[in-house]
Amino acid sequence: MKDILEHQNITAATPFQKKVIPKIKSGANVFAVAPEGSGKTTAIIITTLQKLKDYEEHDNPRVVIFVKDKAAALSLEEKFEPFIKHFNLTTYSVYEERAEQAQKDIIYEGVDIVIGTARRINKLYLMNGINLNDMNTLIIDDAQDLPRIDFAKDIVRISDSFPKCQFIVFSTDYDEKLKSLKNSFMSNALLVQE
């Protein structure tokens, strides 16, 4: 992993990453709050790869990452690419602008990391288009930007189905909406703030 990080010109962890990565690696549920530019995205990538690198091959997704929209899904998938090529891992983005059946077919063929909007991931899950039985980590990126309805309906519904999964939320804010989210399914989560 160190060689891969150096190849991406990442030679030292940010102060926020030094706080949050060990907490995530411990397996605890984590609610991480830090400003833009603190290294949240790189922390997502590093911890995801560390969790998956020693696993045997699976057909079903093991990590699901909720993002606010299509642009965020594609951007995060692109940021994973230079890292996952060194592992035998795959990512796939799902969002409303793609045909559901095509998304189901690609996921069925085998994807390790699904990145997508809460609404589309939930819809695929409800129509048996995504098997989450092997999911071990659910991540919410930029939680402050997700509409409240996504929390109430889609994210909490999936989280209720997988109580043994590790939940990780990244946000730039920690307002009343996000406190409510934390209390809804992450009451014992560690709060890590920069």
Structure token digits, residue 112: 């390790």
Query: What global pTM score does this model have?
Result: 0.91
The helix or strand, by DSSP H or E, that contains position 33, with its residue range, turns out to be strand 30-33
What confidence tens digit (pLDDT) does each residue in 60-98 have?
Answer: 899 999 999 999 999 999 999 988 877 888 999 999 998
Task: Measure the CA–CA gap between 6 and 17, rounded to whole angstroms.
Answer: 16
List, in order of start, the domains of the chain with CATH numbers: 31-48+58-193 (3.40.50.300)
Q: pLDDT of the chain along its 194 residues, tens only? A: 666 666 566 767 889 999 999 999 999 999 999 999 999 999 999 999 888 876 566 778 999 999 999 999 999 999 999 888 778 889 999 999 989 999 999 999 889 999 999 889 999 998 888 888 889 999 999 988 877 666 667 777 787 777 688 999 999 988 887 787 777 777 688 999 98
Please give the backbone phi and psi of residue 171, each rounded to the nearest 5 degrees, phi first.
Answer: -155, 155
Task: Measure the CA–CA gap between 18 and 12, rounded to whole angstroms.
Answer: 9
